[in-house]
Amino acid sequence: MTFEEAAAILARVTYKPGMTFYLDDIPVFGGDYALLLRAVDLPNSNGGVPITLMFHRRICADNLSLYKEDDLMNEVTQLCVFHERHEMEEWLKLDGVRLHEPHPELISSRASIPSREPQRPASTIGYDPNLELNLKRI
């Protein structure tokens, strides 16, 4: 399938209110594509104002031409699974303390947050610290 065909399929996908899917050729991926899930106005697990989140999954540009609709929808499903896992790690707490940190890149800046030992390493699948800088145009 072409980039345009994939984008047209993603425009037809629904998931939850405020969530949309995109395909983009974000420069940090070196010519590959990013399948993006944008979630708007989600409750903030730390309290405060609702937040907008962006999750991504890398799709090799050379492989997209081999994709069928089912292949693209499998990528969408895997992105949704990652999103749900991330949200579970945000919200699941014992005595107000997260059991798993969904933002391992922020652990050093959160030294004041109490932790429980032992803590398994949080997953970084789908995380690219440079991605946020390039998503501002979406």
Lowest mean pLDDT across 39-43, 56-60, 92-96, 122-126: 122-126
Q: What is the DSSP string of 25-91?
A: --GGGTT-EEEEEEEEEEPPTTSSS-EEEEEEEEE-HHHHTT--HHHHHHHHHHHHHHHHHHHHHHH
Q: Is the pLDDT of residue 74 over 80?
A: yes
Q: In the numeric block, which tokens belong to residue 78? A: 């895997």
Give the pLDDT confidence of 22-46 residue by residue, as tens digits.
Answer: 998 876 667 788 888 898 888 888 8
Distance, in Å, from the CA atom of 56 to the CA atom of 82, rounded to the nearest integer, reads 9
Distance separating alpha carbons of residues 59 and 26, to the nearest angstrom: 11
Count CB neighbours of 8 within 10 A: 12
For residue 135, pLDDT over 70 is answered with no
Q: Which sign, positive or negative, has the C-alpha torsion 102, 18, 128, 126?
A: positive
pLDDT at site 28: 62
Percent helix, strand, coil in the chain, to 5, is 35, 20, 40
Give the pLDDT of residue 6. 94
